[in-house]
Amino acid sequence: MMDSRAAAHLLHEIGPDAHSVDGLDNMALGIGMARKGWLTAGDVLNTRGVDEVVAFAQRRRHAAR
């Protein structure tokens, strides 16, 4: 069964919620949760290149005005 958020084609961001450099290791936990929710790399914003992430942010900023 596919998670309804993945089915809705929402774009997700996975972050480690790090409060220190050692906390960056928590990224594996976020990736595991994304996989459990049936997300693929195409569903995750921070699997994309810098230019695509910046373009996404600019589109959102423009749409919010």
Q: Residue 6 pLDDT > 90, yes or no?
A: no
Contact in structure between 15 and 50 (CB atoms under 8 Å)? no
What's the confidence (pLDDT) of residue 2? 57
Domain positions in the chain: 4-64
pLDDT of residue 54: 95
Residues with Cβ within 8 Å of residue 47, at least 6 apart in sequence: 41
pLDDT in tens, 22-51: 988 889 999 999 999 889 999 999 999 999
